[in-house]
Structure 1
Amino acid sequence: MADDSARKRKVRGRKIRDDRSSKEGRRAKKELARKASNAGERNGDSPLSDPGEVAPEPFVETDAVQSLRGRITGWLEADQPVHLIGPTGCGKTALALSAAAERGRPVVWINGDEAVDTAALVGDHAGGERYKEDDRFVSGVSKQTEIVRERWVDNPLSVAVREGATLVYNEFSRSDPAAHNVLLSVFEEGVLERPGKRGDDRSIDVHPEFRAIFTSNDVEYAGVHEQQDALLDRFVGVHVDYYDDETEREIVRSHVELSDEGVETVVDATRALRDDLDIVVGTRAAITAAKGLAVFDGAGNSEASENGQFDDDLLAEVFTDVLSPKVTGDQTDVDDLRSRIREAI
């Protein structure tokens, strides 16, 4: 009887140790899962942004701007990805961010360039996490359990698709078209495949509130790739050009402290140069020129600036400085640009 009781105590003790070991193992696995799922948030890597934080400030709300943004938000409401196409410096990015913020959903931002590949969009393995459990419950007996878990980090597209965010893909056409093959299934089947991800969660079902806005320069710009027709067929294209003179004045005025007459002079000069020069003269150039004129030689406080009558030499020099990076940099080219600017303004 004593022997039977001793045997039962041994069996029960072994069972307790096994149960404790199993419990600790499950706890370790849960902790690893929690750490992996929260890694992006902990490290500040989460691409999700509050819509109020991405809304451009300042942002001009003229009739022309509201009409264009209304087209964008209308197509988004119709569950269509929108591709904004237009010359550099015409306000595509600000327009895209404004439309994204207006939806009230989280926003995910991607900036396209040659380095963007499929992994940069959907995610990749980021090393592994290792956990060791050392059980010394019985003296002289050591039991060690090692748990290894690969850590996968989702990149912007995966996060946007899963969370129902608005994806703003700036300079979309600067990325290699091969990187965008994953977008085909997103817009056609409503599924994102994550190459390199193993297991049941290799794919993500697209959240019903997911939307996408892409921006691209016109095809004639350097560094621009032609994207595959199969993908472009799933977009709607909204072509954006420079705004009317009233809107451009409002935009410049919102960025620079300059008299109304001074702003009018800058915008008129910008629009004249846009017609006469064979380089791109965007609204951004007008803002930069206005900032320069508000500073150099005290122009911002002078009687001339109040009347919008800047010295012609100063006006020509400021616009030359603003636009000269667009020429080769050879002094002859800069001198030629200066002469053409003087003639135009």
Structure 2
Amino acid sequence: MTNDTYSDTYYANGNEVQLFERAYRQRLPVMLTGPTGCGKTRLVEHMGTLLERPVVTISCHDDLTSSDLVGRFMVTGGDVVWNDGPLTRAVKTGAICYLDEVVEARHDSLAVLHSLTDHRRALYLDRAGEVVHAPESFMLVCSYNPAYRSSLKELKPSFRQRFVTLPMRYLPPEREAEVIVAETGVGTATAQRLVRCATAIRTAEAAFHFEPPSTRVLVTAAHLIAAGTTELEAAEACVLAPLSSDGAIAEGLREVAAAGLADAESTRY
């Protein structure tokens, strides 16, 4: 397997595919870190295809409880019946269980993962009185964006050290443009201008203090362009508008983005 293109337009940005596969073969959990929209979820989906395993995705949030993960007793047809949660189903079926933005989950909810991330590789269903031992094909994968986490939402070092950590980043500009072309069918020149626009904003990100535009939003903008929207209108709606509602910051972003779209067919911002 090379570091070039992959199915579903996944483009490797280093050795993350090889490391992910080796972790899977050694039955080790993986933590993906990196900015929003840099390809973490796409990597997991790609690896599910590559390893021929189903992927069970759990979107983490403040209200996620351990019962939401492992399951709970429910009344069904007058009987009290145990219903497995997504984590339990993933363990039993030997799937890849992907906890997206795990930092958003409550710390007490994450405690149920501890026994799955060490030598035990087991899930303890205390309320059901059951221990589920993970088959060799089961893998636990988590992701989060360390650059934009709140000080109140920070993963404990003891939790992070349970995982093989794979840092991810945005693709080089020429490869990012290739992804946009492959996903949307727009011309290479258009894709390159969108990438230049995003790169200019990402470079200025430290001054503006916002989350930089992702590859995902560039693909969305390109879809609008493919449907007939001008490049500047698409950049405004998909790249600039979601970043800030502050008028002064928005105007500054337009000036930064204008450099990236300098040779677009329409007038500048």
Scaled to the shorter chain, the TM-score interval is 0.7 to 0.9
Deviation per residue, 1:100-136 (Å, 9 max, x gap)? 2221123222111112110001000011544xxxxxx
Give the Cα–Cα distance (whole angstroms) in 2 for the partners of residues 160 and 272 of structure 1.
Answer: 41
Matched, 1:284 2:232: no
Do residues 60 (structure 1) and 60 (structure 2) align? no
Residue equivalent to 1:195: 126
Q: CA contact under 8 A between 2:198 and 2:260: conserved in structure 1?
A: no
**What letter matches 2:242 in structure 1?**
P
Cα pair 2:117 2:163 within 8 Å, conserved: no
Q: State whether residues 103 and 149 of structure 2, in contact with CA within 8 Å, keep that contact through their aligned partners in structure 1.
A: no
Structure-1-length-normalised TM-score: 0.66
Which has the larger Rg? Answer: 1
- Does structure 1 conserve the Cα–Cα contact (< 8 Å) formed by 2:74 and 2:80? yes
Structure 1 residues 219 and 249, CA gap change in structure 2 (3 angstroms): closer
Find the counterpart in structure 2 of residue 325 from structure 1: 242
Amino acid in structure 1 at the alignment position of 2:160: L
The match for 1:235 among 145, 163, 177 is 163
In 2: Cα distance, 1:266 partner to 1:85 partner: 24
Partner of 1:171: 101
Identity %: 24
Counterpart residue number, 1:99: 47
The equivalences for 1:271-310 within 5 A come to 271-277=199-205, 278=208, 279=210, 280-296=212-228
Return the letter of the residue paired with 2:222.
A
Closer/same/farther in 2, CA of residues 225 and 340 from structure 1, 3 Å limit: same
CA pair 223-117 structure 1, distance change in 2 beyond 3 A: farther
TM-score, scaled relative to structure 2: 0.83
Alignment-derived partner of residue 87 in structure 2: 157
Partner of 1:88: 36
Q: Deviations over 1:191-236 (max 9, x none)?
A: 21113224xxx22222222111111112433598222333322101
Taking a change above 3 Å as real, the CA distance of residues 165 and 61 of structure 1, as seen in their structure-2 partners, is: closer
Structure 1 residue matching 2:117: 3-state secondary structure:
helix
Alpha-carbon distance in 1 for matches of 2:67, 2:147: 25
- For this pair of structures, how many residues does the alignment match? 250
Secondary structure in structure 2 of the residue aligned to 1:113 = coil
Q: Which structure has more RCO (C-alpha within 8 Å, separation ≥ 6)?
A: 2
Change (3 A) 1:68 1:247: farther
Answer whether contact 1:173 1:224 (CA < 8 A) is retained. no
How many Å separate the matches in 2 of 1:88 and 1:102?
Answer: 23
- Structure 1 residue 268: Cα displacement: 2.3
Could you say what secondary structure the match of 2:241 adopts? helix
1:218 to 2:146 alignment? yes
Q: Which consecutive segments of 4 or more residues in structure 1 shift more than 4 A?
A: none
Which runs of 5 or more structure 2 residues have no equivalent in the other structure? 1-5, 262-269
Deviation readout 1:260-294 (Å, 9 max, x if unpaired): 22222222222222213433122122212323333
Question: What secondary structure is seen at the aligned counterpart in 2 of 1:59?
Answer: helix
Contact kept in structure 2, 1:320 and 1:341, CA below 8 Å: no
3-state SS of the aligned residue for 1:98?
helix
- The match for 1:183 among 113, 120, 126 is 113
Indicate the SS of the match to 2:98: strand
Alpha-carbon distance in 1 for matches of 2:250, 2:157: 40
Gap runs ≥5 in structure 1: 1-56, 131-148, 300-313
After superposition, the CA RMSD in angstroms is 2.4
Q: How does 1:4-83 map to 2 (within 5 A)?
A: 59-62=8-11, 64-65=12-13, 67-83=15-31
- Structure (1/2) with the larger helix percentage: 1
Contact 2:197–2:258 (CA under 8 A) maintained in structure 1 = no
Code of the aligned partner of 1:111:
S
CA distance in 2, matches of 1:83, 1:184: 14
